[in-house]
Amino acid sequence: MYVAVKGGEQAIENSQKLLAEERRGDTGVPELSLDQIREQMALAVDRVMTEGSLYDPELAALAIKQACGDLQEAIFLLRAYRTTLPRFGVSEPIDTGHMAIRRRISATYKDLPGGQVLGPSFDYTHRLLDFALAAGDTRPVADIAEQAVDSGMPRVTDILNHEGLVEVEEPESDDTPVFDLTRESPRYPADRPARLQNLARGDEGFLLALGYSTQRGFGNNHPFAGEIRLGEVAVEFAPEELGFPIEIGEITVTECQMINQFKGSASQPPQFTRGYGLTFGHCERKAMSMALVDRALRAEEFGEPVEAPAQDEEFVMAHSDNVEASGFVQHLKLPHYVDFQAELVTVRALRKQAFAAAEVNPVSDAAE
C-alpha cells in the first residue's frame, strides 16, 4: 500500500521540464517528425499498435516520440488514449484468406499453391551492421515483377484439411457472445476467444520466452510453422444507421498458423492440431510466439497434462500484459513510507522477541 503525499510540486514540474529537454536531445540535431518514425521505425510502430491494442500508425508514432523510444511506455500511452474514445461497434471478422499478400511462407510445404513469397524479411540477412545506412541518404529500390502474387492463396491448413489431417476450425454461431477483456474481468477457466485477445495484446518478450519454453520441453508441443502471412485486409463494419457492412479501411496484419503433432485421444483420431497468432502490422516474432502459446494453452482440450507454465492459463493470462505488469512493478517506486514504518516496527519487535527467547532457552529449537 502506498499513501498520498503532499509537496514536491516544483520538483515534479522541473523533472518534467528536464525530461522534455532530454527527450529533445541536442537541438543541433534535427527533431524527429512523426512521418519519419512511421515510415522508418515501422516495426516499432507495429509493435506499439499491437500491444497498445489500437491501430493508428500516427498515434503510435507520437507515442514512441513522447516515450523517447521506450516502447512499453509508448504502449501505455496508446492504451491510455484509447480509453478517451467512444466505441462505435465491432467489425465483421477480418478475412485473412482474402489478404493482399506481401509475404507468405510455409515451413511444411515447399511447393505450395501460390508459392513461397519472402516479402520484406530479416530472415536471410547476414546481421552484419550496414555502414551505408550510417552514411544516410539511401534510396533503395525494390524489384517489381510483371505479375502480382495470386490474390486468393489457399491456406496451408486448408490443404491439410482435404485429407482430414488437421483439426478444422469451425465458426461458432453468430449469436454467441464474444468475450471482451476491455469490458469484462477475466474468468478462469477462460475460453479460447478470451485467451486469444489476451495474447494479441500481450507482451512480445513474455510470449516469446513462453513459446521458447514449450520448444525446450516445458509443455512440448512439436510445432511446425504451417504458414506465416503478412499483408493487407479490409475491415468491414456495419454502422447501425445503414444496417449493412461497408469497408471502412484496410489494415496490415501478420498471421501465423502453427500445426502440431497430436497422437489422438479416446474421442479424436491422430491428427495435427493448431495454434493461432494474429497481430496488427508486421510482428512476426510475436505472431509465432502467440501461436505457440495458444496451442500450449489448449492442453486440457486435448487431454494433455497441464504441467508447464505456458500451459497454465491463469499464469499466462494474468502476467502477459506489460501495462499491468509494468504498473505493478513500477508502483514500488511510489512512496511507501507508512507501510515501511509499520514493517520497521514489526521487524524490530520480532527481533526483540527472538533475542529474548534465545537468552532464556538457547537450545529450545534444537530440542524440538
Partner 1 sequence: MSNEHPVPSEQTAEQQSRRRWMSVLSKADFPDLDALWGNLPSKPAWTVVRPPEIGMVMVRGRAGGSGGRFNLGEMTVTRCAVQLDDGALGFGYVMGRNKPHAELAAVVDAMMQTPSRRDTLERVLIAPLSLRHDARTDQRGRKAASTKVEFFTVVRGS
Lookup: cell for 364? 529450545
The amino acid present at 65, given as its one-letter code, is: K
Q: For the chain, how long is the longest CA-to-CA vector?
A: 93
Query: Residue from 200, 210, 225, 310 that binds partner 1 (CB under 8 A)?
Result: 200
C-beta of 256 vs 310, nearer to partner 1: 256
C-beta of 219 vs 281, nearer to partner 1: 281
Residue of 257, 256, 258, 251 lying closest to 280 (CA atoms): 251
Considering only residues 154 to 183 of the shown chain, the ones binding partner 1 according to CB under 8 A are 155, 157, 169-172, 176, 178-182
Interface characters, 326-345, with partner 1 (x: CB under 8 A) = --------------------
Cα distance between residue 74 and residue 43, in whole Å? 13
Considering only residues 14 to 73 of the shown chain, the ones binding partner 1 according to CB under 8 A are 49-50, 53-56, 58-59
DSSP string for 296-337: HTTTGGGT----SGGG-HHHHHHH--HHHHHHHHHGGGS--H
Cα distance between residue 366 and residue 368, in whole Å? 5
Query: Residue from 34, 66, 73, 91 that binds partner 1 (CB under 8 A)?
Result: 91
The distance of closest approach from Cβ of residue 139 to partner 1 in the complex, given in angstroms and rounded to an integer, is 15
Query: Residue from 6, 87, 126, 162 that binds partner 1 (CB under 8 A)?
Result: 87
Interface characters, 219-258, with partner 1 (x: CB under 8 A) = ------------xx-xxxx-x-xx-xxxxxxxx-x-x-x-
C-beta of 89 vs 362, nearer to partner 1: 89
Of 137-145, 205-213, 309-317, 360-368, which part binds partner 1 (CB under 8 A)? 137-145
To 5 degrees, how large is the angle CA 295–CA 193–CA 211?
30
The distance of closest approach from Cβ of residue 212 to partner 1 in the complex, given in angstroms and rounded to an integer, is 22
The site for partner 1, by CB under 8 A, has a size of 88
C-beta of 20 vs 118, nearer to partner 1: 118
- The 3-state DSSP class for residue 255 equals strand
Q: Which letter, b or e, does each residue of 14-38 get, where b requires 16 or more Cβ atoms within 10 Å of its Cβ?
A: eeeeeeeeeeeeeeeeeebebeebb
317 interacts with partner 1 by CB under 8 A? no
